[in-house]
Amino acid sequence: MNFKEFFETHPGEVEKAKGCKNIEEFKKLVEKHGISYKDEEEVKSAFNFIKGENGELSDDLLEAASGGKGSPYMELDKHNVYTNDDGNQIYKKK
């Protein structure tokens, strides 16, 4: 797993990461989740981003963190989901 996948699939853990007091705590969390990274700068950049400090992230990480490349799933209003004659569920857009 990389940072992009982590941002997309573990929002609760991202909140925990925000609570890390230093880069060493953040690295332990990263290792716990098996996040791979290319160098120390990438870890520092992700840590600074999580903490809301200045730091540059790659375009992929920025897009993932901002919701641009989020989960392929979305929450639907059950009142707008219907089953057609073929048994397939369809969603009526508002």
Residues 67-93 have a mean pLDDT of: 69
Q: How far apart are CA 63 and CA 57, in angstroms?
A: 9
> How many other C-beta atoms lie within 10 A of the C-beta of residue 71?
9
Residues 7-22 pLDDT 10s: 778 878 888 888 889 9
Give the number of other CB atoms < 10 A from CB of residue 3: 24
Residue-wise pLDDT for 39-71, tens only, equals 888 888 888 888 876 555 556 555 655 555 545
- Domain extents for the chain? 1-94
Provide the percentage of residues in the chain whose pLDDT is more than 70: 72
Rounded to whole angstroms, how far apart are CA atoms 69 and 63? 6
Q: pTM higher than 0.95 for the full model?
A: no
86 φ, ψ (degrees, to nearest 5): -85, 0
Give the C-alpha separation, 39 to 46, whole Å: 11
pLDDT at residue 83, rounded to an integer: 80
